[in-house]
Amino acid sequence: MFQLPTLVSLFVLAASKIVSASPCVTFDSNFNLLAFGLDGKDWNAGPQASWTNGAATDITATGRPPFDGSNTTCYLAQFYNAVYVLNGDSKNPSSVYIYDAAKKAWSTQSVTTGTFDSSDFKAILDHDTNVFYALSKGELFFLNMNAMTTANSSAISWVDARASPYPATYNPVMALAQNHIHFLDVPGLTAGEADIFVIHYSYFQPTSQLYSASSGSSFPATYGQTASFFQAEGVQQEFAFIPDDGSATYVINVETNTTEVYAGPTTKDAAATYAASITALVQLDSKGEVSFFPYTESDVSANTAAAWSKVSALASVAPASSSVSPSATGVKASGSHGASATGSSAGSSTTGSASGNTSGANIAARTSQGLVLACVLAVTACAL
């Protein structure tokens, strides 16, 4: 016998139409701003001079990941003009998607995880070696990307490099500079301090490093996001740290062991992720809105006077969502640390010749469409 659908079943049907999106922002090697998975598409907002006018170019291509992972992050491999995407596909979370920015083409690299937990980690992409380093549950792993701009036919593997000195419960805050990984918010450290892992020697320095603030307060011992500033040539020398409360932007210089304090992002969002170029720090918030802070290396006066602005070139083609997923990357949710985008970067995080980012605020995309569908179906059911 035919039965009319219930309101509950209709709402369940409508809810199934809602797709969780996890976009991320990063750059190509010419420092054009790239936004992946934003409003279901991929975009090139061009160089910094064009971010506040005009419209981004649609670069969506076949073979791209669905950008529906729980903690998607993107990383620029500066030497190779390639972007690597981690956790971009919820059905294949271990795969690395590779975007060849010169050819505007995607490929998918198969990865063997071994004991590496692809759902629970933080990562950076080293600039010179093009190797991912990730901390997961107290273990430090690496994944060698070699010089890949397209996927290999054979799988590559996450390798357990060594145990870290941190408990499995430590939620990592990682940043890359001078081929060293800097660990912030480590248990026992105070404001302005970071632990250091020397990549080329696979060595944790036995004592922490202090990065004193030239004025104001040092960066707090708290959770937050990072992004490493690129150089035109050579390794990154500075990284930004933005605590979850968004109260300030701390720029740490590892050459001088100092910290400068600048304006925090206009949008205070613990779920936001960040990426950096040579002259800008970019925020992707959990509603999909993209903003940037213009940055001039070694010019404290200019940076102190600088202000955050919206990237209208992206907003004009991919307006921010009005609905936010509660599982957004950057929120310290149980079971998912996400990836660090330093340099994401999201992602990241991360960075390096590679630089991450930084990943991916998790957005409930097209929620309004699903709710509209639910209402239409509900009204239809009532009419019947």
Q: What is the pLDDT of residues 132-181, one digit of tens each?
A: 999 999 999 999 999 999 999 999 999 999 999 999 999 999 999 999 99
For the cut 90, the answer to whether the pLDDT of residue 15 exceeds it is no
Per-residue pLDDT averaged across 209-221, rounded? 93
Phi, psi of 364 (to 5 degrees): -80, 95
Calculate the CA 107 to chain-centre distance: 20
Integer Cα distance of 151 and 148 in angstroms:
7
Q: Exposed e or buried b for every residue in 39-49, given b needs 16+ CB within 10 A? A: bebbbbbbebe
Q: Exposed e or buried b for every residue in 153-174, given b needs 16+ CB within 10 A? A: eeebebeeeeebebeeebebbb
Integer Cα distance of 183 and 205 in angstroms:
11
Spell out the domains of the chain, with CATH numbers in brackets. Answer: 19-365 (2.120.10.80)
Indicate the DSSP class of residue 356: E
For the cut 70, the answer to whether the pLDDT of residue 363 exceeds it is no
Phi, psi of 358 (to 5 degrees): -70, 110
Residue scoring higher pLDDT (353 or 28) = 28
Q: How confident is the model at residue 6 (pLDDT cuts 50, 70, 90)?
A: low
DSSP conformation letters of 205-270: -SS-EE-EESSSPPPPSS-EEEEEEP-SSS---EEEEEETT--EEEEEETTTTEEEEEEPPSS--T
Q: Exposed e or buried b for every residue in 329-365, given b needs 16+ CB within 10 A? A: bbbebeebbbbbbbbbbbbbbbbbbbbbbbbbbbbbb
Percent residues over pLDDT 90 in the chain = 76
Beta bridge partners of 38: 41
Percent residues over pLDDT 70 in the chain = 78
Residue-level pLDDT at 372: 41
Integer Cα distance of 382 and 380 in angstroms:
5
Q: Convert the pLDDT of each residue in 103-125 to its tens digit.
A: 999 999 999 999 999 999 999 99
Calculate the CA 259 to chain-centre distance: 22
Q: Is-contact 125 145, C-beta < 8 A?
A: yes
For the cut 60, the answer to whether the pLDDT of residue 11 exceeds it is no
Residue-level pLDDT at 371: 42
Which residues, 6+ apart, have CB-to-CB distance to 233 below 8 Å? none
Residue-level pLDDT at 357: 57
Q: Is-contact 239 225, C-beta < 8 A?
A: no
Q: How many other CB atoms sit within 10 Å of the CB of residue 327?
A: 16
Integer Cα distance of 56 and 43 in angstroms:
6
Q: Is-contact 280 274, C-beta < 8 A?
A: no
Integer Cα distance of 320 and 291 in angstroms:
11
Q: How confident is the model at residue 261 (pLDDT cuts 50, 70, 90)?
A: very high
The residue whose two tokens read 């499995």 is: 168
The two three-digit tokens of residue 136, written as one number: 């997961």
Q: How confident is the model at residue 129 (pLDDT cuts 50, 70, 90)?
A: very high
Mean pLDDT of the chain: 86
Q: Convert the pLDDT of each residue in 54-109 to its tens digit.
A: 899 999 999 999 999 988 999 999 999 999 999 999 999 999 999 999 999 999 99
Q: How many other CB atoms sit within 10 Å of the CB of residue 190?
A: 10
Indicate the DSSP class of residue 104: T
Per-residue pLDDT averaged across 35-42, rounded? 98
Sheet strands side by side (includes 159-163): 122-125, 131-136, 139-144, 159-163
Q: Convert the pLDDT of each residue in 299-343 to its tens digit.
A: 999 999 999 999 999 999 999 974 333 233 333 333 345 444 443
